[in-house]
Amino acid sequence: MNRIELDGRRMDSRAQTHAYLKEMLKFPAYYGNNLDALHDCLMELCDVKIVLRYQDSMLNALGGYGQTMLKVFREAAKSNSTIAFVS
């Protein structure tokens, strides 16, 4: 299983967060830069463990949006047995 470490300190705005996720998770060019698109692209990943470091920094910057994003990661990991999410 491939391991990808995400740094929550690099997620200080919605736009920056989606650009960072697109780069780190190697999402396609058509990635829509929103939570629905994040879910869709996570469902297409396979054999990957995503580790979020510095979660508190991300949550401080993004607030409720960050909380919802964490739910998206967790729900995708539940639905897609080939990915794991650790925060």
Domains defined along the chain, listed by start: 2-86 (3.30.370.10)
Q: Are 62 and 11 in contact (CB under 8 A)?
A: yes
What average pLDDT does the segment 57-77 reach? 98
Strand blocks (E) in the chain: 2-7, 48-53, 83-86
Q: What is the pLDDT of residues 19-60, one digit of tens each?
A: 999 999 999 999 999 999 999 999 999 999 999 999 999 999
pTM assigned to the model: 0.95
The reported pLDDT for the residue numbered 51 is 99
Q: Are 16 and 51 in contact (CB under 8 A)?
A: no
Main-chain dihedrals φ then ψ at residue 29, nearest 5 degrees: -60, -30
**Distance separating alpha carbons of residues 48 and 29, to the nearest angstrom:** 20
The reported pLDDT for the residue numbered 74 is 98
Phi-psi region of 4 (alpha: psi -120 to 50; beta: other; left: phi over 0): beta
